Chains A and B, each alone.
Chain A
Amino acid sequence: MTVESTAARKPRRSSKRTSAAKTPAKAPEGSAPELVQLLTPEGERVEHPDYSIDLTAEELRGLYRDMVLTRRFDAEATALQRQGELGLWASLLGQEAAQIGSGRALHDDDYVFPTYREHGVAWCRGVDPTNLLGMFRGVNHGGWDPNSNNFHLYTIVIGSQTLHATGYAMGVAKDGADSAVIAYFGDGASSQGDVAEAFTFSAVYNAPVVFFCQNNQWAISEPTERQTRVPLYQRAQGFGFPGVRVDGNDVLACLAVTRSALERARRGEGPTLVEAFTYRMGAHTTSDDPTKYRADEERAAWEAKDPILRLRAYLEKQGAADEAFFTALDEESEALGKRVREAVRAMPDPDRMAMFDHIYADGNPLVDEERAQFAAYQASFAEEGE
């Protein structure tokens, strides 16, 4: 092997120098971020000078219902994967408050660019949850019309959608419309060049976009410290727009902060980065094995911050929900689980000719030729009686 060229060079590395390869220490002391919180893990209501919120009992129950049903849907999908009905599932367990809080802050004419885990946001947009399962079952690559709910297709390539959201928002601004755009992504995604470019474009063009980063502490096996040395929300400052860190397990705070960021965008004041500080309770996906890289105690500590239990405690303390509400919701959850289960099992495999559909809006002779060849080849089996 030829490494003489460097062997000749004197390594000047002192043993004191911190290596790039080591996991860096936590962010320096004193930079501990402000975390916007309106509901403590114990379910106590607290005030924040910049983000006030006043919800009716009915609205509070609505948020609770959204979170419970989303969690039920997610659990059902996980079970269906275990039963072999889905090839893969990316669970949102633990991230319900971040998704429902931000999702309920949206107006109908706002537009959402999700990753692949935004099942709660999809729920808020009115996307039928069974539609989300097609791509995980392997029968399609999307399964819904993005324009019918202003909810774009799931994006698997990390970070890509932040640029689409920015461009869409630039279009909104050009049109003089007063809607806003929201892009979801993870803490891992914040390392992608696309995300940095989205920050640059949105700032330069003052695009009405909210970057909603769910920092669930992990990007598969890599902790957030492997992506950044400053708290993520502080990144925004360098691009010239505000960043705020919100307790991602506090649905009220997520709602208030996202609402405020969306309003800012609608007023023409440009982008905001919201970092929802939360936790991925389960595995990255059903293919992942978190025991290889993460201690059980960590999850246990976050369980005490569960977004659903927290709101339930508050509802009970406030007398905002009675036993009948919880019982009815349990029944509704079970019904949802059943509906999802049945829908998935009944989901047909796609027609094989569908492979050649919608490749070009204008049609294409090469596709036509290959489609015809494929059809003839398939037909030859039928002729042989196979």
Chain B
Amino acid sequence: MAVAKMSLAKALNESLRRALDTDPKVLIMGEDVGKLGGVFRITDGLQKDFGEERVIDTPLAESGIVGTAIGLALRGYRPVVEIQFDGFVFPAYDQIVTQLAKMHARALGKIKLPVVVRIPYGGGIGAVEHHSESPEALFAHVAGLKVVSPSNASDAYWMMQQAVQSDDPVIFFEPKRRYWDKGEVDTEAIPGALHAASVARTGTDLTLAAYGPMVKVCLEAAAAAQEEGKSIEVVDLRSMSPIDFDTVQASVEKTGRLVVVHEAPVFYGSGAEIAARITERCFYHLEAPVLRVGGYHAPYPPARLEEEYLPGLDRVLDAVDRSLAY
């Protein structure tokens, strides 16, 4: 049977296993990815089965991890590197932004940079500082990178396969608070394109657009709204760069309303880009301005306040009401 129920974390593990199995050039690199299997156990058992040549514990140096992955990629390898937590990607940000993203263009397309940077991101797990952030917009702003985030086990499995096979660098944001959520994975399915959005729930009154950890919240909000007789469509963007605006547009042309939801701060966030583009594309279809729900222009707060900071069901429904009130 090709269909199995597994957690999002397990789906990533199985996907990485398959990638290592399929292509001898695939490497896993990062802090604690070997014996420990990563702090979230995403690489659990991989070093045992593929050896230290393929699953490499690196020194504690993020710039080093990404910088050497670039070199390995130039030599024909396909490194999949793990950044332990969102807040620790910044020592590597320089390598990602100034080097990884631009090298293909600088070499007139003659070299390829098939590097995947895996980043567990987002809040909701009661962690300390630097362990709950959503820096996706900082990467999506940079040309040359693909930025994606699965919201469920099946997408985790397939998007990781596609990310590894991509000849472009992919920043792969893993919604850490969904790691333990289970879903069905068909390991023989034919997946949609990596950048394609999917309609996670159909509806006619309003569109909720989200990705990663917020898709579940939006589905719950849509279910709650249904009880009040409101029909909400939920679009799972899956990719934050590029964004599949066609799917969003089609949905908004149907519903006339859009609310974008993400954990990252609203100010200069991905919701701003979506709101602007959809306003351009759907001006005459919109019944209300595109609204955004997300984090505040404040540092991610200490754990005891994160429930206030993160968009929850209530805040999403509040935005739905505000949109419908126009």
Listed in ascending order, the chain A residues whose CB lies under 8 Å from chain B are 1-3, 5-7, 9, 19-23, 87-88, 134-141, 156-159, 188-189, 191-194, 219-222, 226-227, 287-289, 292-293, 349-350, 352, 354-356, 359, 364, 366-367, 370, 374, 377, 380
Q: Could you show 30 A-B contacts with beta carbons less than 8 Å apart?
A: A1-B25, A1-B165, A2-B167, A3-B25, A19-B52, A88-B128, A135-B128, A137-B303, A138-B126, A139-B304, A141-B302, A157-B91, A159-B91, A191-B60, A194-B91, A219-B60, A221-B36, A222-B32, A222-B60, A227-B59, A227-B60, A292-B36, A349-B304, A354-B305, A355-B298, A356-B298, A359-B299, A364-B297, A367-B296, A370-B296
What's the minimum C-beta distance from B97 to chain A, rounded to whole angstroms?
A: 15
**CB of B34 within 8 Å of the partner chain:** yes
| B129 proximal to A (CB < 8 A) | yes
B contacts with A: majority SS: loop
Partner of B267, one of A139, A289, A366: A366
Contacts of B296 in A (CB 8 A): 355-356, 367, 370, 374
Complex: chain B residue closest to A371, CB-CB: B296
**A157-B87 contact given A2-B167, A366-B267, CB 8 Å threshold:** yes
Contact of A355 among B34, B58, B91, B309 (CB under 8 A): B309
**In the bound complex, what is the Cα–Cα distance between A139 and B302 (angstroms)?**
5
B127–A377 touching, CB < 8 Å: no
Contacts of A227 in B (CB 8 A): 59-60
Docked-complex contact A359 and B298, CB < 8 angstroms: yes
Closest to A4 in B: B76
Is B281 an interface residue, CB under 8 A from the partner?
no
Ranked 9 nearest A-B pairs via Cβ:
A6-B76, A138-B303, A221-B36, A191-B59, A188-B60, A293-B35, A191-B61, A138-B304, A221-B32
B245 within 8 A of A: no
Q: Is B57 an interface residue (CB 8 A)?
A: yes
**A8–B211 alpha-carbon span in the complex (Å):** 40
Pick from A19, A136, A292: contact of B128, CB under 8 Å: A136
Q: How far is the CB of A1 from chain B (nearest CB, A)?
A: 5
Report if B262 contacts A (CB, 8 A).
no
User: Does B53 lie at the interface of the complex (its beta carbon under 8 Å from any beta carbon of A)?
Assistant: yes
Known: A356-B298, A359-B299, A367-B297. A158 touches B60 (CB 8 A): yes
Chain A's closest residue to B34 (CB) is A221
The residues of A that contact B63 with a CB separation of less than 8 Å are: 193
- Determine whether the beta carbon of A21 is less than 8 Å from that of B53: yes
7 more A-B residue pairs beyond the given contacts A138-B304, A157-B90, A192-B91, with a C-beta to C-beta distance below 8 A: A9-B76, A19-B52, A135-B302, A138-B128, A219-B60, A222-B57, A370-B297
Count chain A CB atoms within 10 A of each CB in B25, B64, B308 and give the residue with the most.
Answer: B308
> Which of A1, A88, A192 contacts B127, CB < 8 Å?
A88
Central interface residue in B35, B54, B61, by most chain A CB within 10 Å: B61
A90: nearest residue on chain B (CB-CB)?
B128
Chain B residues numbered 281-326 whose CB sits less than 8 Å from any CB in chain A: 296-299, 301-305, 308-309, 315, 318
Chain A residues with Cβ under 8 A from B297's Cβ? 359, 364, 366-367, 370
Please tell me if B169 contacts chain A, counting CB pairs below 8 Å: no
Question: Taking CB as reference atom, which chain A residue is nearest B112?
Answer: A2
A220-B31, A350-B305 are contacts. A292–B37 as well, Cβ < 8 Å?
A: yes
Q: By the criterion CB–CB under 8 Å, are A156 and B129 in contact?
A: yes
A355 contacts which chain B residues (CB < 8 A)?
Answer: 296, 298, 301, 305, 308-309
Contacts of A134 in B (CB 8 A): 302
Give min CB distance, B98 to chain A, whole Å.
14
Task: Determine if B52 and A21 form an interchain contact, defined as CB atoms under 8 angstroms apart.
Answer: yes
B91 and A193 within 8 A (CB): yes
Taken together as a complex, chains A and B put the C-alpha atoms of A122 and B39 apart, in Å, by: 28
Specify which of A5, A158, A220, A356 is in contact with B39 (CB 8 Å cutoff): A220
How far apart are the CA atoms of A287 and B131 in the complex, in Å?
Answer: 13
- A227 and B308 alpha carbons, distance in the complex (Å): 40
Q: Which residues of B sit under 8 angstroms from A221, Cβ to Cβ?
A: 32, 34-36, 57
Chain A residues, CB < 8 A from B304: 137-139, 349-350
Within 8 A of A (CB), among B156-208: 164-165, 167
Closest to B301 in A: A355
* B75 contacts A by Cβ under 8 Å: yes
In the assembled complex, which residues on chain A have CB atoms less than 8 Å from the CB atom of B167?
Answer: 2
A292→B75 CA distance, assembly (Å): 33
B129 touches A367 (CB 8 A): no
Q: Is the CB of A138 within 8 A of B52?
A: no
**Distance of A3 Cα from B76 Cα, bound (Å):** 6
**What mask results when residues 28 to 45 of chain B are scored 1 for a CB within 8 Å of chain A, else 0?**
000110111101000000
**In the bound complex, CA of A294 to CA of B163 (Å):** 33
Cα–Cα distance between A156 and B86 once the two chains are bound (Å) = 13
Give the CA-CA distance A377 to B19 in the complex, in Å: 47
**In the assembled complex, which residues on chain B have CB atoms less than 8 Å from the CB atom of A137?**
303-304
Q: In the docked arrangement, what's the CA distance between A7 and B24, Å? A: 11
Nearest B-chain residue to A116, judged by Cβ: B128
Q: Who on chain B is nearest to A377 by CB?
A: B318
* Contact between chains at A3 and B302 (CB < 8 Å): no
Query: In the complex, what distance in Å separates the CA atom of A226 from the CA atom of B35?
Result: 13
Chain B residue, CB-CB nearest to A293? B35
Contact of A1 with B60 in the complex, beta carbons under 8 Å: no
Report how far A141 CA is from B301 CA in the complex, Å.
Answer: 8
Chain B residues in 8 Å Cβ range of A289? 36
